[in-house]
Amino acid sequence: MVIMHPADARTRLLNDGELAWVYGPRRHELAVVRIDEGGRVGDVVLRDVAGASPSETVRVIKPDLDKRGRRPPNTSLA
C-alpha cells in the first residue's frame, strides 16, 4: 500500500483504492493507493512494499493498462 497526499495523487491521476506502480532502487511492484491529508506534499508512506527502505527515493506511477498486450502489426503469437 502507498499512502500519499491528495495533491500528489491528483497530479498522477490516481484515485483512492487504485493500483499504481511503485519503483524503488532495487525493484518495482504494484501497490494499492490510499489518499490521506495528514501527510506532507511530496512524501509517501509505504506499507508491505518490498525493495524500498525508509530513506530511499521511490517513484509512484499510474500504470498504462490500455497499451498492455498489444503487438506490432503483422506479427504472430508463435
Residue 70 pLDDT exceeds 80: no
Task: Identify the pLDDT of residue 75.
Answer: 64
Per-domain residue ranges of the chain: 2-61
The span from the CA of 2 to the CA of 21, in Å, is 10
Query: In this predicted model, what pLDDT tens digit does every residue of 34-57 receive, in sequence order?
Result: 999 998 898 899 988 887 888 888
Handedness of CA 15, 18, 21, 22 (dihedral sign): positive
Tell me which CATH code domain 2-61 carries: 2.40.40.20
The span from the CA of 52 to the CA of 5, in Å, is 19
Query: In this predicted model, what pLDDT tens digit does every residue of 16-38 receive, in sequence order?
Result: 999 999 998 888 899 999 999 99
Tell me if 2 sits within 8 A of 22, measured CB to CB. Answer: yes
For the beta carbon of residue 31, count every other beta carbon within 10 angstroms. Answer: 21
